[in-house]
Amino acid sequence: MSDNKVVLNYGGNSYEYPIVESTLGDRGIDISKLRDQTGLITLDLGYKNTGATISEITYLDGDKGELYYRGYPIEQIADKSNFTEVMYLLLHGELPTQDQFSKFEAGIKNYNYIADEMKRLIDVFPRSAHPMGVLSSLTSALTAFNPKAVDVNSPSDLDHAAEMLIAKFSHLCAWTYRKKLGLPINHGDNSLNYVENFYRMCFRRPNEEFHLDPVVVGALDKLLILHADHEQNCSTSTVRMVGSAHTGLFASVSAGISALWGPLHGGANQAVIEMLEMIEQDGGDVAKYVEKAKNKDDNFRLMGFGHRVYKNFDPRATIIKKAADDILNSLGIEDKALDIAMQLERVALEDEYFVSRKLYPNVDFYSGIIYRALGIPTEMFTVMFALGRLPGWISQWKEMRLHNDPIGRPRQVYQGAQKRDYIAMNAR
């Protein structure tokens, strides 16, 4: 017995697999020789027990409800930092000095416009198109206007690619918003910071003077920070997987956007509001929907509840719940959806089904209420998530390439037909 290796007894032989140490949390069994030595592979549907990589970016402890960006607890970051600084931290590993911050911000502002041809691309989408589909397509299309592949051996090339995507992506997110509302599209304004600039690009009306509301800017900044990275979630794993084939940064991120769109992942923020509206329109009977969620013959799930990793509480949800209260109060908005959300939370948290399965409100449960208070259409909520998650995707892509991770290529346990001979159609 030793705690630095695992011994597998199989077929009369004994095999040893080393433990890979961590600085915090799960240690891993290195099974890279397993198949060669034993002819066996591991099977772990949904990768619930599988470490896909070694990373230094984000740590989360699902039992304790802890989340750290590069070692800094999310509560401190959300309270004291700003989104631009968080982007730098995730990308470079350390908090910036004033000089590093200014250079980073200037690097982003250097790319604060988009090629005019991109406007023609967005024009051809129908207004009814879902903003996430538009965003994913436009992100992929950006490659056409920036055809030079990133040289991952050049730190300055990596920095420029990240800064370029960060700048241009905020335009694409704002443009999908303008498209949805039928408003003309804008370029950025370099006198503003990143979040202010995004806010202005979204909300400035063609014939009105524009005022930055500090409450709205503060709320957006906090939401973006809380979504900035979350280690190996579905969309980030997608970005890493696509990038592992040495696919370019923009195309890899475009794939991540599609993964994020799903209602079990980032699309849950849209699904939560739709669910709360449905409950309200149906008379507000919260208990009825809690029963539906528990019924195994009913496909209904309580959206915004549960998490693959958090089995105690989602620390982001705690911060967002408080922010939602503050923002509704300061904007003087009363939202019936918030009342229903609070009732739902109360009923579910006292119910044995949710308690025994450790199902708690997640980050998406309250974020939609804030977006709604800011006047953002429901279909745009996941785009907001994508803007927040962008620095995480880029940092993870960069780390994967710098660590020279091999191409992602899982195996399978095949249970299909055995070898058989083709039968001509007239003989079937």
Which one of residues 74, 302, 374, 383 is an interface residue with ligand CMC (CB under 6 A)? Answer: 302
Q: Which is nearer to ligand CMC, 189 or 277 (CB)?
A: 277
301 burial level (CB within 10 Å; 0-12, 13-18, 19+): middle
Q: Does 311 bind ligand CMC (CB under 6 A)?
A: no
Q: Which stretch binds ligand CMC (CB under 6 A): 58-66, 127-135, 157-165, 301-309?
A: 301-309
The Cα 253–Cα 364 span in angstroms is: 21
Least distance from ligand CMC to the Cβ atom of residue 243, Å: 20
The Cα 125–Cα 134 span in angstroms is: 7
Q: Which stretch binds ligand CMC (CB under 6 A): 12-20, 24-32, 143-151, 359-367?
A: 359-367
From residue 67, alpha-carbon distances to 44, 145, 187, 314, 390 in Å are: 25, 37, 35, 9, 18
Least distance from ligand CMC to the Cβ atom of residue 46, Å: 6
To which residue do tokens 């592979």 refer?
A: 41
**Residue 148 structure tokens:** 């030079």
Distance of CA 79 to the CA centre of its chain: 20
Which one of residues 96, 131, 188, 306 is an interface residue with ligand CMC (CB under 6 A)? Answer: 306
Q: Which is nearer to ligand CMC, 25 or 155 (CB)?
A: 25
Total residues at interface with ligand CMC (CB under 6 A)? 20
Instruction: Reply yes or no on whether 307 is catalytic.
Output: yes
Q: Could you tell me what percentage of the chain is helix, strand and coil, using 3-state DSSP and rounding each to the nearest 5?
A: 55, 5, 40
Q: List the x/- string, 153-192, binding to ligand CMC by CB under 6 A.
A: ----------------------------------------
Which one of residues 74, 158, 217, 303 is an interface residue with ligand CMC (CB under 6 A)? Answer: 303
To which residue do tokens 């309580």 refer?
A: 302
Least distance from ligand CMC to the Cβ atom of residue 208, Å: 35
Q: Are 199 and 210 in contact (CB under 8 A)?
A: no
- DSSP characters for 36-58? HHHS-----GGGTT------SSE
Q: Which is nearer to ligand CMC, 180 or 307 (CB)?
A: 307
Instruction: Reply yes or no on whether 403 is catalytic.
Output: no
Q: Are 143 and 252 in contact (CB under 8 A)?
A: no
Catalytic option among 364, 403, 405, 421 = 364
Q: Which is nearer to ligand CMC, 187 or 292 (CB)?
A: 292
Q: Which residues contact 266 (CB under 8 A, 6 or more apart)?
A: 235, 260, 364, 382, 385, 386, 389
Least distance from ligand CMC to the Cβ atom of residue 349, Å: 13
Q: List the x/- string, 233-272, binding to ligand CMC by CB under 6 A.
A: x------------------------------xxx-x----
**Chain residues in the site for ligand CMC (CB under 6 A):** 46, 233, 264-266, 268, 293, 301-308, 357, 359, 362-364
